[in-house]
Structure 1
Amino acid sequence: MSASTYDTIVVGARVAGATTALLLARLGLRVLVLDRGRYGGDTVSTHALMRGGVWQLQRLGVLDDVAAAGTPPVRRVHFHYPDDTTRVTLKPTPGVDALYAPRRTLLDRIIVDRATAAGADVRFGMTVTALSRDHTGRIIGVVASDRLGRRLRASGPLTIGADGIGSIVARAVGAPLTWAASGAGSAFLYGYWDHLPAEGYEWYYSPGVSAGLIPTNDGQTTVFVGTTPEKMKLARAGGTWPGFRTLAEAVSPDLRARLADGQPPRRLRGFTGVTGYLRQSWGPGWALAGDAGSFEDPLSTHGITDALRDASLLSEAILRIHAGGATEAEALSAYQRTRDALALPLLTTVDSISSYQWTVAELQRSLLDASSAMSEQFESTQDHAEHSSLARVLPASASDSAHRVAP
């Protein structure tokens, strides 16, 4: 078994984990990132970035890479209801000229590449099997193995769980829920259509069902249908494709007709409803970021934006610890308080939307509330960033290695 020592160990190399690693490596910290998947692999995602997420990518200096890869800019959002459509044109703001919905095979790889260039040790195909503890119970590292069974023991003062809903870190430390949504969450079927133009983000709503069109890379459009887990199970009883068509017809006959004009994928992907939550996000020697600590129903299309938010807040907390400006408990508890204050207004609003227990008029009010919550979270995140010491490692351009700063 090989053994190594790092300043920080990150479990998970998706958006939350890779972004945290990128920021910490730019600070000059020795960072190990372990992910059980493969480099450039896909994952379940809505893909859609909201304004706060685009702004965070701009701060990181990676938005240009996303755009250069052919990710289509989104400047309009359409809300389709049974009897009318509302169109919203995005107003450009500093750092956010448009919205984007990159494939995760692209976005995650771009951030991982930047983290590696900044000095992070990123290893794929590594499954964390246990967390190491000292005699007090403090987390002091991880034990992992690769696909050939070779084991790695890594130690460090902080282990970050950025490993999603089923986080092994959260389970191992027994991180309790501090808030949970009231419903079971939405269930989805989705796929990638060719030759199906979308006028920006297009959201469809009808009592008990939802759908969306999201333009992404390679000229494709992500199409999803969503409903409650119970209704999804009934819809799929006769097969996945018949269930998809039934739900598409229920939300909008116009959508069903539009889909017939495009080229459908060979297969559809599914996501079973998961109740939204907040978890305790830190303890002695550990912290959580992204879906490991905070999960919002995908109907919000805010998950990637949340992951980028957490990575920035957590990296700032770790910087304070290493700079001697705060103890671990002080810095990480402040991270959780800020995360919760930013996340809860949107979480509670999305909880009501994902219940599907609404009339169209009630839904429209909830969507306005969600928009306000997103705007307030974005503005608060910007205000927080203005006072953040991370500004010195957030280049608008230039190589990562040129901006590494020892704490």
Structure 2
Amino acid sequence: MSDFDAIIVGGGLAGSTAAYILAQEGLEVLLIERGNYGGSKNMTGGRLYAHSLEKIIPNFAEEAPIERRVVKERISMMTENDAVTMDYRSPRLAQQGSDSYVVQRGEFDRWLFDKAEEAGATATAGIKVDELIVENKRVTGVICGGEEMTADVVILADGVNSLLAEKAGLRERVKPSQVAVGVKETYELPAKVIEDRFGVSSDEGAACLYAGSPSNGLVGGGFLYTNKESISIGLVLGLNHIGDSDKTIEEMLVGFSKHPEIAPLIKDGKLLERSGHVVPEAGLSMVSTLYGDGFLICGDAAGFCINIGYMVRGMDLAITSGELAARAVIEAKEKGDFSSATLQSYKTKLDDSFIMKDLSVYKKFPAFMENPRIFNQYPTMLADIMAEMFVIDGKPAVPLRKKAMKHLKAVGLMNLAKDGLKGVKSV
């Protein structure tokens, strides 16, 4: 007889969600987190699209440690000194069911981890799982510090580089082309200063994404999120291309923070922390093994992430994948069968959910983003066209179409046509 119905490795959003649901259904659940508390290893700052957790914990934002509800979107194409920016503000962004929140992952994940414990899960932190117990190609438990703990099923939610799955031969090693390095800085500022600078009220916030110079012309980009009394800024850089840069990550992050578009927004802010993390980046092509005899894989460990330039999603996919993993385990418990044939229902649930459908819609986008013109020529082209429109120096006027055409031709009209078509097809 097993010690537990389910052992969940990883106390992030996916793992805690699975533990919460299983515990509510009365299953014996062990949730193991390597950090000192749930969320201790996660980077501060980020954006949660609320729809996934709202279905599990209705009105969760009333008790959860959220920062600000996003009511303003900002997208910028940047050169070393210029920025071409599009703002979008709408009450539709704040409507329940389609709203999103800026959250501090350390605080938010800890809250959800504690919710799982309140529901009845045995939640333990500060414990490292050394390896999985595999008997006759079936996962039957975990080993922690030489101690064996068994379960009918093990759910792996231990992050993008799931070494446990790799060590046990359940999935292939993650490739550099499939992941990115995320680096962040958080600056403390008074709430009123943040609200004045971004034109938002006390419970409102902004989410900003930047392409071009922030990543030094390589695949990647910058971001900024408004917290209650701090601002998180940072970069996401394709791991496969970092070696091609003539700047270090540190130099790129410093340059981003000093850019004329960013510096005024964090002016007089006190640096609270710096952090870094590896994140999934390749979309559908990164998703590999999801289930097998006695195990399921969810969240970042499964490669669930969508980055299409103007929108980055990972948290809502992690939460729903944790939920669906729990539902599959509940069905397996009712049948008394935790074989691959029964746990395959997890994949069926994923296919029927927004997760696999959205990943399929955007499956071509990661390849499209490999185009260096997106991060080099196009930001420069847009900035130069805007300068032609707005810089007045007393010289005789030239028709705007002629001035614009000069910059379009510098990129290449055929390149514009081909890239535009590929871009449309990728989204």
Q: Judge conservation of contact 1:186–1:274 (CA < 8 Å) in 2.
A: yes
TM-score, normalised with respect to structure 2: 0.71
**Pairwise CA distance, 1:123:** 1.0
Q: TM-score, normalised to structure 1's length?
A: 0.74
1 or 2 for the larger relative contact order (CA 8 Å, sep ≥6)?
1
Structure 1 pair 334/284, CA: closer, same or farther in 2 (3 Å)?
same
Moved more, 55-64 or 270-279: 270-279
- The answer to whether residue 326 in structure 2 is matched with residue 320 in structure 1 is no
Q: Structure 1, residues 67-108: CA drift from partner, whole Å, max 9, x if none?
A: 663521112211123434141525168743631121112111
Q: Which residue of 2 aligns with 1:75?
A: 71
Unaligned runs of 5+ in 1: 146-150, 373-407
Quickly say closer, same or farther: Cα 1:109–1:184, change in 2 above 3 A: closer
What is the SS of the residue equivalent to 1:57? helix
In the TM superposition, 1:113-262 aligns within 5 A as: 113-134=114-135, 136-145=136-145, 151-176=146-171, 183=177, 185-195=179-189, 197=194, 198=198, 200-206=206-212, 208=217, 210-216=221-227, 218-229=228-239, 230-231=241-242, 234=245, 236-237=247-248, 240=250, 242-248=251-257, 253-259=260-266, 261-262=267-268
Q: Which moved more, 1:65-74 or 1:75-84?
A: 65-74
> Residue in 2 aligned with 1:390?
none
1:177–1:278: 8 Å Cα contact kept in structure 2? Answer: no
Where in structure 2 are the equivalents of 1:6-405 lying within 5 Å? 6-45=4-43, 47-51=45-49, 54-61=50-57, 63-65=59-61, 69=65, 71-81=67-77, 82-89=83-90, 91=92, 95-96=96-97, 98-134=99-135, 136-145=136-145, 151-176=146-171, 183=177, 185-195=179-189, 197=194, 198=198, 200-206=206-212, 208=217, 210-216=221-227, 218-229=228-239, 230-231=241-242, 234=245, 236-237=247-248, 240=250, 242-248=251-257, 253-259=260-266, 261-265=267-271, 267-271=273-277, 276=282, 277-296=286-305, 301-324=312-335, 328-339=339-350, 341-342=356-357, 344-345=359-360, 348-352=363-367, 355=370, 357-359=372-374, 360=378
CA distance in 2, matches of 1:357, 1:324: 52
Q: Any idea what SS the aligned residue of 1:305 has?
A: helix
What is the Cα deviation at residue 293 of structure 1?
Answer: 1.4
The structure with the greater share of residues assigned to strand is 2
Structure 1 pair 90/338, CA: closer, same or farther in 2 (3 Å)?
farther
Q: d(CA) in 2 for partners of 1:354 and 1:337?
A: 30
Distance 1:366 1:100 in 2: 31
Shift of 1:274: 5.8
Cα distance in 1 for residues equivalent to 2:157 and 2:46: 20
Shift of residue 192, structure 1, vs aligned partner? 0.5
CA contact (8 A) 2:94 2:100 kept: no
The one-letter amino acid of 2:16's match is A
Q: How far apart in 2 are the matches of 1:338 and 1:70?
A: 29
**8 Å contact 2:43–2:276 — kept in the other structure?**
no
Of the two, which has the highest radius of gyration? 2
Distance 1:107 1:266, change over 3 A: closer
Q: Secondary structure, in 3 states, of the residue corresponding to 2:37?
A: coil
In 2 relative to 1, CA 331–78 (structure 1 residues): closer, same or farther, beyond 3 Å? farther
The farther-off stretch of 181-190 and 69-78 is 181-190
Distance 1:235 1:269 in 2: 22
How many matched pairs?
354
8 Å Cα contact 2:166/2:172 also seen in 1: no
CA distance in 1, matches of 2:229, 2:264: 20
Cα distance in 1 for residues equivalent to 2:345 and 2:130 = 29
Deviation at 1:119, TM superposition (A): 0.8
Q: What is the identity, as a one-letter code, of the residue corresponding to 2:46?
A: A
Question: C-alpha separation between the residues in 2 aligned to 1:62 and 1:56?
Answer: 10
Percent identity between matched residues is 19
User: Is the alpha carbon distance of 1:177 and 1:131 closer, same or farther for their aligned partners in structure 2, counting shifts above 3 Å?
Assistant: closer
How much does 1:127 deviate?
Answer: 1.4
Q: Which one-letter code corresponds to 1:190 in the other structure?
A: K
- Cα gap change, 1:117/1:318 in structure 2, threshold over 3 Å: closer, same or farther? same
Against the structure 1 CA distance between its residues 188 and 114, is the aligned structure 2 distance closer, same or farther, given a 3 Å change threshold? closer
SS of residue matched to 1:253: coil
